Amino acid sequence: MNKISLPLNSKMLTKEFTYGVATASFQIEGASEKRLPCIWDTFCAKENTVVDGSNGDIACDHYNHWKEDIELIDSLGVDAYRLSISWPRVITESGELNSTGVNFYLDILNELKKRNIKAFVTLYHWDLPQHLEDNGGWLNRETAYKFQQYADLISQAFGDRVHSYATLNEPFCSAYLGYEVGVHAPGLVGRENGKKAAHHLLLAHGLAMSVLTKNSPDSLNGIVLNFTPAYAIDDKPENITAASFADDYFNQWYIKPIFDGKYPEIMQQLPQSCHPDIHREDMAIISHPVDFLGVNFYTRAVYQASDVDYFDELPATGKLTDIGWEVFPKAFSELLISLNERYNLPPVYITENGAAIDDKIVNNEVIDQDRIDYYQQHLLAVNDAIESGVDIQGYFAWSLMDNFEWAEGYLKRFGIVYVDYESQLRTIKNSGHAYKTLISNR
Ligand code: IFM
C-alpha cells in the first residue's frame, strides 16, 4: 500500500507536530565556483575517496533551482524545511560576510516565510572552509572561535527569518569519520585525532549557542546529533561491556558533555595521547542550555568483545537498505526512551530519518515500497517513544531529494523526490506522495 498510517489518537496526527524535509548545502547546492573551497572539494579531488569519483560541483544544482525546489517542498505540504548554510559561501577568508552568498540564503528564507514554511537552519553540515583546515581544521581550537564569529555574523544577517538554529550536524561524523578513520573529509587517520576534533566541535557548538541566544532569542537553538545504538550480540558480560564501550565512544561522547557537562568515564581507559586538551571553562561552555535536541537515526550496530581492541563491530545482518544499514526500528524507540531516561532533555526533533533504496524511475514513477515501509515502521517507533513519555515535537524525512551522499557519491539515493542528475528533473517518488498524504490527512 502506498500509504503511511499512524494510530488514530496519535499526537503525531495533530497540527502541533512538525513534519519536514531535510537537505544539506554541499549535498545539493552545486555552484562551487561561487564560494570558497571547502574540505569536501579537496577530499573529492583526491583519488579513491568517493566511490564514483564524483564531487559537489553541480550536485542537484539547487543554487539555480532553489525556487522550484521550494515550490516542490510546499507541494508536499510540509510544515518545515531543514537546510544547512555553507560557511564558505557566506564568510570571506578575512572573516566578513559575503553578500552574494548571504543574499542567496536570504532569498530562500524569505520565500519560506512567504509560504509559511518554518526554516530549520543548520550552521555546519561538514563543509569547513579549506583555509581553516589548512590551519589545522577541527584539530585547532581556534576553529571553534572562527565558528562562533560566523554564527554571530550570519544570525545577525538572518534576523527573525529562522525558526530554529542547529549549530552542528552530527559532530560524530566530522570528528570520527573525518579525523580518526579518514573516510570523510578531511580524510585524516589516527585514533589520537578523533576526540580532540570532537572537543573543538563541541566547544564551537557551545560558543555559538551563546551568540545565538543573544542574536536570535526567539528561535529554537540547539544541536543535531546522530545515534547508532549499540547492541551486544548476546548476554555474555564481556559482550555487554564491549557494546557499552562502543555506545560511550560513538554516541554518549557527544550528548553527555552537552547535558551533563562531562565526557563518559571511558576517557580514563583511552591512552593519554587521545585525550582532548580541555580548558577550565570548556565544559561549562559546552553545556550551555539548548532549546531542542535534534536526533538523527538510521540504524543500529551490534558488538562483541575483542582481543585486540575495546570492541568488535559485527557485519550488519537482517534486512538491509541499499547502503548496507540494517532496518531495525525497535532501536529507534529504545534509543529515544533511553536518552529521555538518562538526560534532562529539552523538546526533541527527529531531524533525520530515511532509507537509501536502489530506486528505478519508470514512466515518471518511482515505486519505492521499501522506503515507504521504512518510514511507516520508523514513524511508528517515534509514536511509541512519544507514548512512553518522550517529548518529541517534529520529524524530518532525510532527504527531500536524492543528492551527493558523501563518500558514496551519487550512487545512493535517500530522497523522497527522485533527481535525474543529467536533466536536473525532480520527480516525487511514491514515498513522497505517501508522506504528503500522511501530513495532509492530519
Ligand atoms: O546524507 C547524510 C546526511 O548528510 C547526514 N546524516 C546521514 C545522511 C545519510 O547518510
Question: Would residue 428 count as lying in a domain?
Answer: yes
Task: Give how many domains the chain has, as a whole number.
Answer: 1
pLDDT digits (tens, 9 = 90+) for 336-368: 999 999 999 999 999 999 999 999 999 999 999
- Alpha-carbon distance of 205 to 227, in angstroms, equals 18
Span from the CA of 23 to the centroid of ligand 1 (angstroms): 9
Is the pLDDT confidence value at 147 over 90? yes
Mean pLDDT, range 260-272, rounded to an integer: 98
Question: Would residue 334 count as lying in a domain?
Answer: yes
Indicate which residue's Cα is closest to atom 10 of ligand 1: 405
Pocket test for ligand 1, best of 406, 411, 416 (most atoms within 8 A of CB): 406
Mean pLDDT, range 273-282, rounded to an integer: 98
Active site residues: 170, 352
Residue 155 is placed in which grid cell?
544570525
Q: What are the CA-CA distances from residue 88 to residues 95, 101, 117, 199, 370 (Å)?
A: 10, 9, 26, 22, 37
Span from the CA of 308 to the centroid of ligand 1 (angstroms): 30
Question: Would residue 234 count as lying in a domain?
Answer: no
Indicate which residue's Cα is closest to atom 1 of ligand 1: 405
Which residues have C-beta atoms less than 6 Å from ligand 1?
24, 27, 170, 296, 352, 398, 405, 414
Average pLDDT across the chain, whole number? 98
Question: Would residue 244 count as lying in a domain?
Answer: no
pLDDT digits (tens, 9 = 90+) for 166-177: 999 999 999 999
Mean pLDDT, range 389-397, rounded to an integer: 98
Span from the CA of 120 to the centroid of ligand 1 (angstroms): 16
CB 283 within 8 A of CB 203: no
From the CA of 24, give the closest atom in ligand 1: 4
Is the pLDDT confidence value at 1 over 70? no
pLDDT digits (tens, 9 = 90+) for 98-127: 999 999 999 999 999 999 999 999 999 999
Q: Has this prediction a pTM greater than 0.85? A: yes
- Alpha-carbon distance of 37 to 39, in angstroms, equals 7
Which residues in 61-163 belong to E strands, given as ranges? 80-84, 118-124
Range of the domain at 411: 11-229+288-301+326-440
Question: Would residue 415 count as lying in a domain?
Answer: yes
Span from the CA of 364 to the centroid of ligand 1 (angstroms): 26
Question: Would residue 307 count as lying in a domain?
Answer: no
pLDDT digits (tens, 9 = 90+) for 279-295: 999 999 999 999 999 99
From the CA of 408, give the closest atom in ligand 1: 10
Pocket test for ligand 1, best of 21, 122, 124, 399 (most atoms within 8 A of CB): 399
Query: How high is the pLDDT of residue 278?
Result: 98
Residue 255 pLDDT level (bands cut at 50, 70, 90): very high
Q: What are the CA-CA distances from residue 352 to residues 278, 295, 299, 312, 317 (Å)?
A: 30, 7, 12, 27, 23
Pocket test for ligand 1, best of 28, 224, 405 (most atoms within 8 A of CB): 405
Query: How high is the pLDDT of residue 279?
Result: 98
Span from the CA of 381 to the centroid of ligand 1 (angstroms): 20
Query: How high is the pLDDT of residue 77?
Result: 98
Instruction: State percent of the chain over pLDDT 90.
Output: 100
Query: How high is the pLDDT of residue 2?
Result: 84
Span from the CA of 405 to the centroid of ligand 1 (angstroms): 7
Span from the CA of 294 to the centroid of ligand 1 (angstroms): 14
Indicate which residue's Cα is closest to atom 4 of ligand 1: 24
pLDDT digits (tens, 9 = 90+) for 131-145: 999 999 999 999 999
Residue 261 is placed in which grid cell?
557537562
pLDDT digits (tens, 9 = 90+) for 184-223: 999 999 999 999 999 999 999 999 999 999 999 999 999 9
Question: Would residue 219 count as lying in a domain?
Answer: yes
From the CA of 323, give the closest atom in ligand 1: 10
Question: Would residue 52 count as lying in a domain?
Answer: yes
Indicate which residue's Cα is closest to atom 2 of ligand 1: 405
CB 336 within 8 A of CB 382: yes
- 106: Cβ contacts below 8 Å, ≥ 6 apart: 157, 158, 161
Is the pLDDT confidence value at 315 over 70? yes
Half-sphere exposure of 317 (CA within 13 A, CB side): 6
Query: Which CATH number goes with the domain that contains 15?
Result: 3.20.20.80
